[in-house]
Amino acid sequence: MLKVVKFGGSSCADATQFAKVKSIVQSDPARRVVVVSAPGKRFKDDHKITDLLYLCAAHIKYGVACDDIFGMIRGRYSDIARGCKLTISLDAEFDALWERMKRGEVSDDELASRGEYFSAKLMAAYLGFDFVDAALWIKFRFDGSVDQAASYEALQRAADGRGVVIPGFYGVMPDGHVKTFSRGGSDITGALAAAALDADVYENWTDVSGILMADPRIVSNPAPIRHVTYNELRELSYVGAQVLHEGAVYPVREKGIPLNIRNTNDPTHPGTLIMEKVEDEADNSDSFITGIAGKKGFSIITVAKTSLSSEHGVLLRIMEVLEKHEINVEFILSGIDTVSLTVSSEQVQKQLYEVLGELQKELKPNSITVVEHIAIVAAVGRRMAYRLGTSGKLFATLGEHGVNVRMITQGPDELNIIVGVEEKDFEQAIRVLYDSFVKEKNVL
Ligand code: ASP
pLDDT, residue 78, reads: 97
Residue type, 33: V
Measured from the Cα of 184, ligand 1's closest atom is: 8
Q: Is residue 402 a contact partner of residue 354, using CB atoms and an 8 Å limit?
A: no
Going from N- to C-terminal start, the domains of the chain cover: 3-207, 291-439
Measured in Å, residue 185 CA sits from the centre of ligand 1 at 6
Task: Please state, in angstroms and rounded to a whole number, the distance separating the CA atoms of residues 197 and 250.
Answer: 15
pLDDT, residue 313, reads: 87
Measured in Å, residue 221 CA sits from the centre of ligand 1 at 26
Lowest model confidence (mean pLDDT) among 57-61, 95-99, 240-244, 367-371: 240-244
Measured in Å, residue 200 CA sits from the centre of ligand 1 at 25
Average of per-residue pLDDT across 337-363: 94
Task: Please state, in angstroms and rounded to a whole number, the distance separating the CA atoms of residues 419 and 432.
Answer: 14
Measured in Å, residue 310 CA sits from the centre of ligand 1 at 53
Count of alpha carbons within 13 Å of 72, Cβ hemisphere only? 14
pLDDT in tens, 78-101: 999 999 999 999 999 999 999 999
Q: Is residue 53 a contact partner of residue 73, using CB atoms and an 8 Å limit?
A: yes
Which conformational region is residue 86 in: left (phi greater than 0), alpha (psi within -120 to 50 degrees), or beta? beta
pLDDT in tens, 389-439: 888 888 999 999 999 999 898 877 778 899 999 999 999 999 999 998 887
pLDDT, residue 228, reads: 93
Residue 443 has pLDDT above 80, yes or no: no
Taking CA atoms only, the protein residue closest to ligand 1 atom 6 is: 184
Pocket residue to mutate for ligand 1, from 46, 186, 187, most atoms within 8 A of Cβ: 186
pLDDT in tens, 206-240: 999 999 999 999 999 999 999 999 999 988 988 88
Measured in Å, residue 62 CA sits from the centre of ligand 1 at 24
How many other CB atoms are found less than 10 A from the CB of residue 37? 31
pLDDT, residue 414, reads: 76
R_g of the chain computed on alpha carbons: 25
Measured from the Cα of 8, ligand 1's closest atom is: 7
Measured in Å, residue 4 CA sits from the centre of ligand 1 at 18
pLDDT, residue 205, reads: 98
Measured from the Cα of 186, ligand 1's closest atom is: 8
Measured in Å, residue 433 CA sits from the centre of ligand 1 at 34
pLDDT, residue 243, reads: 80
* Domain topology for 291-439: VC0802-like (3.30.2130)
pLDDT, residue 289, reads: 86
The pTM score is 0.89
pLDDT, residue 384, reads: 79
Measured from the Cα of 9, ligand 1's closest atom is: 7
Measured in Å, residue 436 CA sits from the centre of ligand 1 at 37
Q: Is residue 378 a contact partner of residue 236, using CB atoms and an 8 Å limit?
A: yes
Q: Is residue 275 a contact partner of residue 230, using CB atoms and an 8 Å limit?
A: yes
Taking CA atoms only, the protein residue closest to ligand 1 atom 8 is: 184
pLDDT, residue 283, reads: 59
Strands 227-229 and 178-180: unpaired
* pLDDT level of residue 286 (50, 70, 90 thresholds): low
Residues with CB under 6 A from ligand 1: 8-9, 37-38, 48, 50, 115, 168-169, 183-187
Measured from the Cα of 187, ligand 1's closest atom is: 8
Measured in Å, residue 49 CA sits from the centre of ligand 1 at 9
Residue 285 has pLDDT above 70, yes or no: no
* pLDDT level of residue 358 (50, 70, 90 thresholds): very high
Average pLDDT, the chain: 93
pLDDT, residue 392, reads: 87
Q: What is the full DSSP assignment across 124-153?
A: HHHHTPEE--GGGT-BB-TTS-B-HHHHHH
Taking CA atoms only, the protein residue closest to ligand 1 atom 2 is: 184
Average of per-residue pLDDT across 328-350: 92
Homologous superfamily (CATH) of 3-207 is: Acetylglutamate kinase-like (3.40.1160.10)
How many other CB atoms are found less than 10 A from the CB of residue 370? 15
Asked whether the CA dihedral 96, 97, 99, 103 is positive or negative, the reply is positive
Pocket residue to mutate for ligand 1, from 36, 116, 138, 181, most atoms within 8 A of Cβ: 116
Measured in Å, residue 46 CA sits from the centre of ligand 1 at 15
